[in-house]
Amino acid sequence: MQAIKLNNIKKEIADRVLFEIDSLIIKKTDRIGIVGRNGSGKSTLLKMIAAEDNDFHGEIDIHGREAYVPQLKETSTMSGGEQSMALIQKAIQSHPDILILDEPTSNLDVENLNLLIELLSESAATLILVSHDRHFLNKLVNNIWEIDRGKVQTYSGNYDDFHAVKELKTRQHQEAYSEYQNKVKQLENEAHRRLQKASTFKKRKKNVSRSDYKVNSFAGKYDAQEKAMAKSAKALEKRIEKLNPVEALIRERSFIFKEVGNLDNDASTLINLNEGKLFIEKIELFSYPPFKITFGDKLSITGPNQSGKTSFLRAILRQSLKGYYSQQLNIGYFSQNFNVLDLNDSIYHNVRKGSLQSDFVIKNVLASLGFDHKVIYQKANVLSGGERVRLSFAKVLLGDHNLLLLDEPTNYLDIDTLKSVEGFIKNYPGAVVLVSHDQTFVETTTDQHYFIESGQLLSTAYQFKNKDKVEQELLLLQFQLDEMVMNPETQLEDIREIQRKISKLKSND
């Protein structure tokens, strides 16, 4: 059955067409993930569907009651993750027919993310959401809408299915482009050969006597041959014009770093912390084992919100934890609340200052983060909050550092930009310590994984040693859950608590 119909939609902002939709139907069983570049109109489309934005041409017919949770902006005494979960749970408990969510995972740790996936999987509502979290999209959606260059294209399946289709289309387009270029080159070469041949007709050949040459020239024989050959060359040029042109694909951006400054580093060990405990205002957050960072390492740290991940990065930045710190250590630190910009300087010069990388790499990174060559000489004070965060990120990435501490860098990045940043980190010659709730991003960019659990910083190597213990605990919890479900007197919250424990163990598996 039909839940929503969009017909002849045109959305304009400041006399510019943001996107157009001829006709789209959302069925009641649809679970739709909307993706696209920052600024393409994803959040705007959600607001239109939620009747929060009525300033557009066309019609949107809604069949059912909606609940809409916008991207979290306001602050309160609760953490961002707590606020997000509270708002989403309230929306689900209102039992809407249609549930609309804008970036619901932005402030969630892995445990709450898994809980949210579980809650939404159990909901019978039609689901429409915007998210940059590929793992989340893979778990929940059965359709992808992509907003690209002002058009909305639909794809069946989850994010990986969508990505596979896009990859196939890219390969087919590249093959068509190569075939087109080869055909054009072949015709151009033949046309050039014929023009060259035409120009030789009036020249006397060695096997033609002077008298015969004069007779033929006087009779116009060579003129006719030249014109015929030139005409055939012209016909080939017209054939080229009639070919259906195939545009070249935009090449992937290059992140080849010059190993200069602090990246030209002969110090293998950058940091080697003694075993210790992390305190904030005399409150113990967690204990940690000996912790070593060498040049080129790519490490991740995950854990619940407020478990101490950010505090640990800041302690490393201040070099306040006991241990060895290389004299050549130079740290670049990124956090969404850490301002490193000169707002009175241009976008480009904010990054150029303090970077030893080439203009080519700097402009490629800026373009990958949404700042193309048309805007990079504008002052940073014209940027929105999200754009300033992305520019701060670029400044840290390209600075003269040999260790990058990146605290939740993905929140203001669309999926295409995320992939570019993944390429950057994989090619970065220095060390990276990453804190992120985005599981796909973590798995793609890092190869050493730490997690905070029960007041301890543990590595996946430790987890592997204790795998049998975890499996036994999972079996016991699953048995308890089965018993609870069969018991009509069991409270729903008790079942939820066991489910949360199972999700937590599985997320660390």
Q: Which pLDDT band holds residue 213 (cuts at 50, 70, 90)?
A: very low
pLDDT above 90 as % of the chain: 49
pLDDT at 507 over 70: no
Position 256 scores a pLDDT of 66
Q: Say how far apart CA 413 and CA 428 lie, in whole Å.
A: 19
In the predicted model, is pLDDT for residue 202 greater than 60? no
Q: Which amino acid is at 192?
A: H
C-alpha to C-alpha distance for 381 and 237, rounded to whole angstroms: 51
**pLDDT bracket for residue 218 (50, 70, 90):** very low
Residue pair 336/389 in contact (Cβ under 8 Å)? The answer is yes
DSSP conformation class of 380: G
| Predicted local confidence at residue 407, as pLDDT | 93
Does the domain at residues 2-157 carry the CATH identifier 3.30.499.10?
A: no
Partners of residue 293 on adjacent β-strands? 271
- 3-16: average pLDDT: 93
pLDDT tens, residue by residue, 265-276:
666 899 999 999
Dump pLDDT digits (tens) for 407-425: 999 887 889 889 888 988 9
Closest CA to 31 of 211, 148, 151, 161: 161
Q: Which residue has the higher pLDDT, 353 or 485?
A: 353
Instruction: Indicate the residue type of 419.
Output: K
- Beta-sheet strands, E only, within 371-493: 403-407, 431-435, 448-453, 456-459
In this prediction, residue 221 carries a pLDDT of: 46
Model confidence pLDDT, tens digit, residues 297-347: 999 999 988 899 999 999 999 999 999 999 999 999 998 777 788 999 999
- Please give the pLDDT value at position 240: 78
Instruction: Give domain limits for the chain.
Output: 2-157, 167-242, 261-464, 467-507
Task: Judge if 2-157 and 261-464 fold alike in CATH terms.
Answer: yes
Q: What is the number of residues in the chain? A: 509
Per-residue pLDDT reduced to its tens digit, 341-385 = 899 999 999 999 989 888 988 998 898 888 888 899 999 999 888
| pTM score | 0.76
CATH topology of domain 261-464: Rossmann fold (3.40.50)
**Model confidence pLDDT, tens digit, residues 108-142:** 888 889 999 999 999 999 999 999 999 999 999 99
Work out the number of other CB atoms within 10 angstroms of the CB of residue 36: 21
- Please determine, for residue 406, whether its predicted confidence score (pLDDT) is greater than 80: yes
What is the per-residue pLDDT across 243-292, written as a single tens digit (0 to 9) for each? 888 777 666 565 666 666 777 766 689 999 999 999 998 899 999 999 99
pLDDT at 494: 79
Tens of pLDDT along 138-190? 999 999 999 999 999 999 999 999 999 998 988 888 888 888 888 888 877 87
Instruction: Look at 505 and 225; give whichever has higher pLDDT.
Output: 505
Residue 59's pLDDT band (boundaries 50, 70, 90)? very high
